[in-house]
Amino acid sequence: MAFDFVTRSKQVVGLDIGSSTVKMAELRPVRKGGYELVSLGIEDLSPECIVDGVIISKLPVSDAISRIFAQQNVKNKRVATSVSGHSVIVKKIALPTQTQEELSESIRWEAEQYIPFDIADVNLDYEVLGESAATGNLDVLLVAVKKEKITDHTSVISMAGKNPVIVDVDAFALQNAYEVNYKPSTRSTVALLDLGASIMTINIVTGHDFLFTRDVGVGGHQYTDFIQKEFNLSFAQAQALKHGEPADGIQPSEARHIIESVNEIICLEIQKTFDFFKTTTTVERIDRMLVSGGAAHTPGLVETLAQKFDIQTEKFDSFKNVTYDSKRFPPSLIANRSPDLAVAVGLALRSAEE
Ligand SMILES: Nc1ncnc2c1ncn2[C@@H]1O[C@H](COP(=O)(O)OP(=O)(O)OP(=O)(O)O)[C@@H](O)[C@H]1O
Ligand SMILES: [Mg+2]
């Protein structure tokens, strides 16, 4: 029992604070490599709360967090959250072979050339990925996040009376969710695409190996914005139309061309990312695309992506290897929201190594 207590006390609640919705997931390991859903919550935010990645109104966000925890009766206060967007830099860099001590001395200086902000304003983290005897180089994964971005997130969590013990990056949380659910045993290369409301995270992995990531400022909000402008609708009306419901006498079919035009913009950004990725790697092709985030539901998007890139493409299933009690969590809810919860599930998988 004591052991059980120890393991449980290390568990964290995954909390994905998106610009459109706050998503929470709590998991419990059940068998080797498998998990069970303990609690789950989603709360919508008004579009004015988080703008351009900045939490403008903290109170409604911390209230949403409080509501989620209260509704699900979540006792665990230890929260893992994540950040994304232009305040986050993730890069694989090659450095001359050196000792751990030398690296911890030189990393800030080395990092400076890759970071477009003042180094004093960022939190820096790194991980040695491996050493190449052939080149005499050390492959290092560099992660830099603007301090204000981190405090933005931790402060709303603290305001809700919770303890932010881990601040991760969306791309890595996504990869965690992928590894646990898809058990990548082969050397196949997969592009994980998380399409949120304002940010698209692209993470390219081979098996368990991280290769490349990029965040682009495009997402579900772009569809809503274009529809709003075209038909002179409110945000809520445009959102409804995008989700396939008539609004103000306008039929969803009339918005089809707008949705397609934004699909094109998204395809173009993915193409740019793939082109750049190709210049950095020896990997020949991407075998599969898995699309998560709320905007994965956009009518026709997955099909457009599959066609455009000629890559097997499907929606991400965050519960492929996660069991749940169907009396507590309606299977239809799980099925409908499964792609949206990828980052939250990935965060819930992190045990707290503070
Ligand atoms: N059924 C649907 N059809 C079309 N779009 C949808 C549907 N459901 C949700 N969306 C869109 O998905 C977006 C929200 O997705 P998500 O919750 O992943 O974003 P977020 O994490 O809050 O945002 P971000 O990560 O960009 O800050 C919104 O733009 C929403 O309109
Ligand atoms: Mg998101």
Same fold, 1-85+147-183+321-354 and 88-144: no
- Is pLDDT at 4 greater than 60 in this prediction? no
Axis-axis angle for helices 220-231, 235-242 (nearest 10): 110
Residues 6+ apart with CB under 8 A from 146: 87, 88, 117, 121, 122, 123
- Is pLDDT at 353 greater than 70 in this prediction? no
Question: What is the pLDDT at residue 185?
Answer: 74
Mean pLDDT of 274-293: 94
All structural domains of the chain with their residue ranges: 1-85+147-183+321-354, 88-144, 184-315
Sheet containing strand 122-132, strands side by side: 88-96, 137-146, 122-132
Domain 184-315, CATH class in plain words: alpha beta
pLDDT tens profile 193-247: 999 999 999 999 999 999 999 999 999 999 999 999 999 999 999 999 999 999 9
Tell me the CA–centroid distance for residue 11 and ligand 2, in Å.
22
Tell me the CA–centroid distance for residue 196 and ligand 1, in Å.
5
Question: What is the pLDDT at residue 5?
Answer: 42
Local confidence band at 8 (pLDDT 50, 70, 90 cut-offs): low
Tell me the CA–centroid distance for residue 6 and ligand 1, in Å.
36
Indicate yes or no: pTM above 0.75: yes
Tell me the CA–centroid distance for residue 256 and ligand 2, in Å.
24
Residue 201 CA: nearest ligand 1 atom is: 25
Q: Which of 21, 200, 262, 345 to mutate to test the pocket of ligand 1 (most atoms within 8 A of CB)?
A: 21
CATH homologous superfamily, domain 1-85+147-183+321-354: ATPase, nucleotide binding domain (3.30.420.40)
Pick from 48-62, 98-112, 140-154: least confident: 98-112
Q: Would you state the CATH architecture of domain 88-144?
A: 2-Layer Sandwich (3.30)
**How far out from the chain centre does Cα 273 lie?**
17
Residues with CB under 6 A from ligand 1: 18-21, 196-199, 219-221, 224, 239, 242-243, 293-295, 297-298, 340
Mean pLDDT of 34-57: 95
pLDDT tens profile 89-139: 999 999 999 999 999 999 999 999 999 999 999 999 999 998 877 788 999
Q: What are phi and psi of 194, to 5 degrees?
A: -110, 110
By CB atoms closer than 10 A (0-12, 13-18, 19+), residue 127 is exposed
Residue type, 145: V
Mean pLDDT of 68-92: 96
Residue 195 CA: nearest ligand 1 atom is: 18
**What percent of the chain stands above pLDDT 70?**
97
